[in-house]
Structure 1
């Protein structure tokens, strides 16, 4: 299957409770232990912000006569009112917040390098914009914020994020950088 066909074959939808274990597996494959979130954190976010926890699913019909959707990528977020990510906002969810904080973007190690992360980000942003325009006059969300390591900055810039500088967040052993996208 060529690249465009593969990307076009992906299904993007909310990650449900039955996919939490698989989503967490992607997290521990993608992050060093000192940076990975816990399974409890995954369950918490899925329960309080289910519409902000999206997955990329690939349809695998190789082993049976019917197609099975396999979770190969996730984006998980919560809401806050702070203009940028703080240590406190990383561990809370304000259902009335207008700032979407992306906690994690993960892609299965067997599918990396195929543009899935960028595709997921663009689809996620499009969904957030649509939800904002359809909710009320003031919009539901104002901005998307995240922190990332330096080598990932170009990925997020391709998705439309602006680099704000080095983050005050200390999490793990590497430097983090603040990025935002105005909706």
Structure 2
């Protein structure tokens, strides 16, 4: 889900950037009358042929005002756009990496531990377990109650049950106790390493 969200964010931001760049270049070209100065043949129907031209004429802007459905459609479209943008923002903020974890000493004092440091240690310990080829860990949630998302790439002949037990009882438990956390909920995803077939002669 996180990879899909990151990919979706990149695609949407790239499209928005390309559209804004194209619009800005078109406005600059029209404002400085570059098409006429450089003798460029613009496409038919191009709105900016001279510096005083506008994107929408007064007739274009007012032609639908007399229709009863016009303002309802405009308000509904804008409301839908705002809802989609707010949803995208909330999902993006909720899925971000945890920057800090609060480590409490028990006497009312505490320290802040970088989330990246804790996830790196947890990742290294998980990757060192028997049957694990590679591990990736991401922390999310609040700094007082973090959550771990663990992705494991298992060796060819590893058994998922024992590997999951070691990750839970060793790596996650060590991370929880070292950070003095009451709990460390985790979602563990297991994948199998794909090896290229070898020809035996």
| TM-score, shorter chain, exceeding 0.5 | no
The structure with higher relative contact order (CA 8 Å, sep 6+) is 1
Task: Report the TM-score when normalising by structure 1.
Answer: 0.31
Higher-Rg member (1/2): 2
